[in-house]
Structure 1
Amino acid sequence: MDVNELTSIFSDAIYLVVAMVGVLVVPSLLVGLIIAVFQAATQVNEQTLSFLPRLVLTLLMVLFSGQWLLQQISDLFDRLFMNIPHIIG
């Protein structure tokens, strides 16, 4: 196995991790930012006001994008598993 194929495998894996984190975390960050602006404007400093909507949104994102996330992980695993003889030899 040459360096280009190994680099391709690692770049695909890193891209997948970034995409998965982006799908799960970015919406939560946006909601957190909106709530932080609201709290700053109204001077309400309640921790649960910030935590609960982000938790619900993250769980909803896992619910809606979970199948896609598992499919992407499965595709990467299948690619790695099928290339084991080529990687070793």
Structure 2
Amino acid sequence: MEADRALNFMNDMLWSSLIVAGPVLLATLAVGLVISVFQVATQLQEITLSYVPKILVVALLLIALGPWMMERITEFARSIYLLIPTLAA
């Protein structure tokens, strides 16, 4: 396998994983920020308060975006499997 082809595979893999994981990570970041501002404003320093909203948001996003995420991952895997015969040459 040539180095540029391997780098292209790695680039595609990183972009696919970023696109799939990005919405969940950004939503978790936003919820954590809102909860932190709420805790600072109310001086309620309960550590476990931020976990439940984050878990709920992640679960709802995985339910809502799960089919799209699986489609993206399956499409990427299919494209890699279709390229296997061209690697032998």
TM-score (structure 1 length as normaliser): 0.89
Identity %: 28
Aligned amino acid, residue 80 of structure 1: I
Q: Structure 2: any 5+ residue segments left out of the alignment?
A: none
Map 1:70-89; keep pairs closer than 5 Å: 70-89=70-89
Distance (Å, rounded) in 2 between the aligned partners of 1:37 and 1:86: 53
Structure-2 residue corresponding to 1:6: 6
Map 1:4-43; keep pairs closer than 5 Å: 4-43=4-43
TM-score (structure 2 length as normaliser): 0.89
C-alpha displacement at 1:18, in angstroms? 1.2
Paired residue secondary structure (2:49): helix
CA contact (8 A) 2:20 2:72 kept: no
Structure-2 residue corresponding to 1:66: 66
Distance (Å, rounded) in 2 between the aligned partners of 1:74 and 1:32: 30
C-alpha displacement at 1:20, in angstroms? 1.8
Distance (Å, rounded) in 1 between the aligned partners of 2:88 and 2:72: 24
Q: Considering only aligned residues, what root-mean-square deviation do their CA atoms show, in Å? A: 1.4
Distance (Å, rounded) in 2 between the aligned partners of 1:54 and 1:28: 6
Aligned amino acid, residue 83 of structure 1: L
Bigger relative contact order (CA 8 A; separation at least 6): 1
Aligned amino acid, residue 81 of structure 1: Y
C-alpha displacement at 1:47, in angstroms? 2.6
Find runs of 4+ consecutive structure 1 residues off by over 6 angstroms.
none
